[in-house]
Amino acid sequence: MELPKQITIKEVGPRDGLQNEDAFIPTSQKIKWIHHLAESGLKHVEVTSFVHPKKIPALKDADELTRQLPKKPGVTYSALVPNLKGLERAVACGVSEIAVFMSASETHNKANINKSIKETLPILRQTVKEANRQQIQVRGYISTAFFCPYEGHIEAKAVQMLSETLLEMGIYEVSVGDTVGTASPLHVEETLECLLKRIPRNRLAMHFHDTRGMALSNTLKALEMGITTFDSSCGGLGGCPYAPGAQGNTATEDLLYMCHQMGIHTGISDEKLLQQALYIEKNIGRSLPSKALQVWKQNMAKKGRGN
Amino acid sequence: MELPKQITIKEVGPRDGLQNEDAFIPTSQKIKWIHHLAESGLKHVEVTSFVHPKKIPALKDADELTRQLPKKPGVTYSALVPNLKGLERAVACGVSEIAVFMSASETHNKANINKSIKETLPILRQTVKEANRQQIQVRGYISTAFFCPYEGHIEAKAVQMLSETLLEMGIYEVSVGDTVGTASPLHVEETLECLLKRIPRNRLAMHFHDTRGMALSNTLKALEMGITTFDSSCGGLGGCPYAPGAQGNTATEDLLYMCHQMGIHTGISDEKLLQQALYIEKNIGRSLPSKALQVWKQNMAKKGRGN
């Protein structure tokens, strides 16, 4: 099996992870957590979202958070931005990278941002153009890229065309999202085969959700196809408030375990990352889905008991 | 990606699943459960273990269970047997297939059955010979085939030699176990490459534990290498009382989901299997690790609420 020697993991826990939580984590705790996530070796953390604060109450502190978050050399703190207005807020807070987003499915796009795909594209184009003018890098998410809870199967060709459109606008990378977590490795292979016909592999990232336990199998297939950038979430936090049935992202610790066991370099410390998963689990107050975290806690408990 | 068109799933929940549970499930409930597992389309269920009743209290009813379990045409109910004495009990109860077991690791073998590998082999040889003489099929487990919690990494060559020895004794299939759940897809590939040099693929089954969330990724790799028999456990029940840190088997429902999504035929009904996972979850009284089960329950709850 051919595997990349090194991959980049983009941590989305503070945004994609927390956005679906009822609990509001105080800004100071988020800042501490994000700082320590970066200390674990992560070079890219999506820290919040500049959508309307009422839409995602868990991230209503986007402005304070990004203003107060100490910069860290070599680490990019990115933020989700829906439009020019969001970009303005992000810029005012000193954000150096943004992510724009849309769905491959018409119905999910409508449910998520109340606009058709056709209406969304000019808004993104305007936002990307203005961001790039201000030397702000832009990443693009395509959600429901495999399956939409309203429309069902999504054609790979549609994702390919949308990806090309976003890249032409000036984004540097498309993150292809299995929002509901239904994709199989075969589906990943089919979609990537189609995308890679037109898009260089270093312009693609995969964003899997582990709703049905397939996130790592899908990651394996993407790794074998040469993809080297993956989104994941500390503890396996996550979901999508507008996609019924969507659950946590790939857990960063589980992804680390698989990659490190296969000799794939990530630059991230398992131990430090696990400590941060434990930290956010305690703050959220419920058991998080990451398997590596649960094993680590068990082992710690055993050590504590002296056996 | 080349995948088999059809696989055989061997359900080990009633034995490997229940053996690690504190709760004793009453025999009548086990019988009902096993009957319905077979009704879901499973053709092979390992129903109990004829080790000493004191060793695994959850399976202390092996004799009554196997005597009372109604036979089902086309379905094999198998039982774990440690030695001739266990075989005698199994035969007296009308069991038509047994499984013998040992570890690839000296220390785990000792911890599990208090014998060295060298001491174990003649006992198994005697048991297999006697079983075959009575027209009873024998399956063989090699546990800690990738990693031993006491000894660490296990050499593929050792597993290959042990597999050959067991097959020469007269077992029809070796089930290669990642008892602690540490294997990665790369490790699976390396081990299988070694095994397949000497052993036909239809003589091998894979037995994964999902301790670190790798069971399905490892299954994917084994499928790609042409393996077509997999052990799994309804609900993701399971563990090993003598392997610290070992957790549940591959969940049968999650395995079904992955296979069915990729067009691999199993002959098993997702819906019926999920109902049985729910049944045993209720009887055990704690949330089981299967992801497909948790999603199914959520969806049922939503339907119940009329949205």
Q: Cα separations (Å) of A243 from A76, A150, A182?
A: 28, 9, 12
**Confidence band for B127, pLDDT divided at 50, 70 and 90:** very high
Percentage of residues in chain B with pLDDT exceeding 90?
87
Determine the number of helices (DSSP H) and then strands (DSSP E) in chain A.
Answer: 11, 10
Structural tokens at position A70: 């100490």
What are the pLDDT digits (tens) for A61-99? Answer: 999 999 999 999 999 999 999 999 999 999 999 999 999
Residue B237 exposure: Cα atoms within 13 Å on the Cβ side: 27
Structural tokens at position A255: 């992804």
Q: Do B248 and B233 contact (CB within 8 A), yes or no? A: yes
Using CA atoms, how far apart are residues A299 and B247, in angstroms rounded to an integer?
A: 12
Q: Cα separations (Å) of A129 from A68, A83, A132, A137?
A: 27, 11, 5, 10
Q: Do A11 and A234 contact (CB within 8 A), yes or no? A: yes
Among partner residues A211, A217, A247, which is closest to B220 by beta-carbon distance? A217
Q: What angle do CA A245, A251, A253 make, to 5 degrees?
A: 165
Does the pLDDT value for residue B245 go beyond 60?
A: no
Contact A185 B292 (CB under 8 A): no
Using CA atoms, how far apart are residues B255 and A214, in angstroms rounded to an integer?
A: 10
Does the pLDDT value for residue B240 go beyond 70?
A: no
pLDDT at residue B21, rounded to an integer: 86
B212: Cα separation from own chain's centroid: 18
Taking alpha carbons only, the member of B247, B251, B302 closest to residue B273 is B251
Does the pLDDT value for residue B106 go beyond 80?
A: yes
Residue B5 exposure: Cα atoms within 13 Å on the Cβ side: 0
Using CA atoms, how far apart are residues B24 and B285, in angstroms rounded to an integer?
A: 11
Angle between helices A270-284 and A291-304 (to 10 degrees): 90
Angle between helices B117-133 and B106-113 (to 10 degrees): 60
pLDDT at residue B236, rounded to an integer: 94
What are the pLDDT digits (tens) for A177-192? Answer: 999 999 999 999 999 9
Using CA atoms, how far apart are residues A19 and B202, in angstroms rounded to an integer?
A: 48
pLDDT at residue A21, rounded to an integer: 86
What HEC string does B29-63 produce? HHHHHHHHHHHCCCCEEEEEECCCCCCCHHHCCHH
Report the gap between the CA of A170 and the closest CA in chain B (Å).
33
Using CA atoms, how far apart are residues B271 and A211, in angstroms rounded to an integer?
A: 17
Q: Name residue, tokens 């320590």.
A: A36
Please indicate if any CB of chain A lies within 8 Å of the CB of B241.
no
Using CA atoms, how far apart are residues B160 and B168, in angstroms rounded to an integer?
A: 12
Cβ neighbours of A257 in B, within 8 Å: 212-214
Q: Name residue, tokens 């039982």.
A: B79
Please indicate if any CB of chain B lies within 8 Å of the CB of A264.
no
Q: Cα separations (Å) of A68 from A82, A94, A262, B119, B183?
A: 22, 10, 38, 66, 42
CA closest to B209 among chain A residues? A291
Using CA atoms, how far apart are residues A252 and B225, in angstroms rounded to an integer?
A: 27
pLDDT at residue B118, rounded to an integer: 96
pLDDT at residue B307, rounded to an integer: 43
Does the pLDDT value for residue A100 go beyond 70?
A: yes
Structural domains of chain A, ranges and CATH numbers in brackets: 8-304 (3.20.20.70)
Q: Do B154 and B195 contact (CB within 8 A), yes or no? A: no
pLDDT at residue A238, rounded to an integer: 83
B200 Cβ contact list (under 8 Å, min separation 6): none
**Best mutation target, A147, A182, A210, A214, to test chain B (most B CBs within 10 A):** A214
Contact A245 B187 (CB under 8 A): no
pLDDT at residue B269, rounded to an integer: 98
Contact A211 B291 (CB under 8 A): yes
ipTM: 0.94
List, in sequence order, every residue forming a beta bridge with B140; answer none if it has no partner. B100, B174
N residues, chain A: 307
Q: Do A153 and A147 contact (CB within 8 A), yes or no? A: yes
Using CA atoms, how far apart are residues B74 and B294, in angstroms rounded to an integer?
A: 31
pLDDT at residue A307, rounded to an integer: 43
What are the pLDDT digits (tens) for B185-199? Answer: 999 999 999 999 999
Please indicate if any CB of chain A lies within 8 Å of the CB of B295.
yes
Angle between helices B185-196 and A252-261 (to 10 degrees): 40
Contact B257 A185 (CB under 8 A): no
Please indicate if any CB of chain B lies within 8 Å of the CB of A211.
yes
What are the pLDDT digits (tens) for B269-294? Answer: 999 999 999 999 999 988 888 999 98
* Burial (CB count within 10 angstroms: exposed 0-12, middle 13-18, buried 19+), residue B164: middle
Using CA atoms, how far apart are residues A89 and A95, in angstroms rounded to an integer?
A: 9
Contact A184 B254 (CB under 8 A): no
Q: 3-class SS at A11? A: strand
Look up residue B269 and give its amino acid: S
What are the pLDDT digits (tens) for A229-271? Answer: 999 999 999 865 565 555 799 999 999 999 999 999 999 999 9
Q: 3-class SS at A141? A: strand
* DSSP class per residue in A72-128: -TT-EEEEE--SHHHHHHHHHTT--EEEEEEESSHHHHHHHHSS-HHHHHHHHHHHH
Q: Do B96 and B137 contact (CB within 8 A), yes or no? A: yes
Contact A213 B251 (CB under 8 A): yes
* Burial (CB count within 10 angstroms: exposed 0-12, middle 13-18, buried 19+), residue A55: middle
What are the pLDDT digits (tens) for B130-143? Answer: 999 999 999 999 99
Among partner residues A3, A213, A221, which is closest to B291 by beta-carbon distance? A213
pLDDT at residue A241, rounded to an integer: 55
Q: 3-class SS at A301? A: helix
* Residue B259 annotated as catalytic: no
**Confidence band for A22, pLDDT divided at 50, 70 and 90:** confident
pLDDT at residue A23, rounded to an integer: 84
What are the pLDDT digits (tens) for B5-51? Answer: 999 999 999 999 999 888 899 999 999 999 999 999 999 999 999 99
Looking at every residue in chain A, the average pLDDT score rounds to: 94
* Burial (CB count within 10 angstroms: exposed 0-12, middle 13-18, buried 19+), residue B15: buried
Please indicate if any CB of chain A lies within 8 Å of the CB of B252.
no
Cβ neighbours of B261 in A, within 8 Å: 182-184, 186-187, 214
Of A35-44, A204-213, B234-243, minimum mean pLDDT range: B234-243
- Count Cβ–Cβ pairs < 8 Å, chain A vs chain B: 103
Structural tokens at position A3: 């595997």
Contact A184 B262 (CB under 8 A): yes
Using CA atoms, how far apart are residues A66 and A276, in angstroms rounded to an integer?
A: 19
A175 Cβ contact list (under 8 Å, min separation 6): A10, A99, A139, A140, A141, A142, A205, A206, A207, A229, A231
* DSSP class per residue in chain B: ----SB-EEEE-IIIIIGGG-SSPPPHHHHHHHHHHHHHTT-SEEEEEE-S-TTT-GGGTTHHHHHHHSPP-TT-EEEEE--SHHHHHHHHHTT--EEEEEEESSHHHHHHHHSS-HHHHHHHHHHHHHHHHHTT-EEEEEEESSSEETTTEE--HHHHHHHHHHHHHHT-SEEEEEETTS---HHHHHHHHHHHHTTS-GGGEEEEEB-TTS-HHHHHHHHHHTT--EEEEBGGG----TTSTT--PBPBHHHHHHHHHHTT-B-S--HHHHHHHHHHHHHHHTS--S-HHHHHHHHHHHHHHTT-
Using CA atoms, how far apart are residues B129 and B275, in angstroms rounded to an integer?
A: 39
